[in-house]
Amino acid sequence: MKAGLKICGMKVPANIAEVVALAPDYMGFIFYPGSKRFVAYLDANEVRNIPAPIKTTGVFVNQDLEDVKQVIDAYQLKAVQLHGKESPEYCAALLSSAEVIKAFGIDADFDFDSLLPYADQVDYFLFDTQTPDHGGSGKTFSWQLLEKYTINTPYFLSGGIGIDSVPELLQLNDKRLYALDVNSRFETAPGMKNIEELKKFKSLIQ
């Protein structure tokens, strides 16, 4: 398995700089006020000045479409990650502004056919563990459930991924697996990433 890496939940300037030095493929910034990793008063320049090869990604939950577009512009985001009940039409309206990643919480009852209307309206899906809190639970869902995923749209894999996940990750053989999304399992506190652990993880998966 060779997958890209997205490090999500960034909000502390010094820690952002340390993660930038690791050169992940994506860095995520959460604009959902209900999250412990909400960017709050983070200066937009901290995001705008991140080197272009790293795709800065705004994470949103059921936010007004025009507000999202304004944030994309203010922070010069390269991608958006939508964790709410955003419609296919909502997703399509953002495609000209940024890459669109539509997230879905997965559990044993998830209906993968519900993804069909989104397949041509997004760039990627993101599969996370189903929780009431729109992700960030540190819990992993059963990756065997992905055997039910029959669409060709590439996806990010999220949900409780840590160093101890690597052996199982290396067994995954799905060309649609585009990138791994990591967050809470690499934190010393909400929004503060353990750089040495991230370095180790990156070396193992890439």
Share of the chain above pLDDT 70, in %: 96
pLDDT of amino acid 142: 86
- At 54 the pLDDT is 98
Question: How many CA atoms are closer than 13 Å to the CA of 186, on its beta-carbon side?
Answer: 26
The three-point CA angle 195-30-201 to 5° equals: 25
User: Which CATH superfamily does the domain covering 4-205 fall into?
Assistant: Aldolase class I (3.20.20.70)
Over residues 166-194, mean pLDDT: 94
Residue with tokens 């909502």: 90
Per-residue confidence (pLDDT) for residue 137, from 0 to 100: 54
In the block, which residue shows the tokens 């705004």?
A: 58
State what percent of residues in the chain have pLDDT above 90: 87
Distance of alpha carbon 171 from alpha carbon 34, whole angstroms: 35
Q: Alpha-carbon distance 28 to 9, whole Å?
A: 6
Distance CA 162, CA 45 (A): 30
Confidence (pLDDT) at 98 = 98
**What confidence tens digit (pLDDT) does each residue in 106-119 have?**
999 999 999 999 99
Domain residue limits, the chain = 4-205
Distance CA 33, CA 15 (A): 20
CA gap 30, 75 in Å, rounded? 12
Predicted TM-score of the model (pTM): 0.95
Q: Which residues are catalytic?
A: 8, 128
- The mean pLDDT value of the chain amounts to 94
**What single letter denotes the amino acid at residue 12?**
V
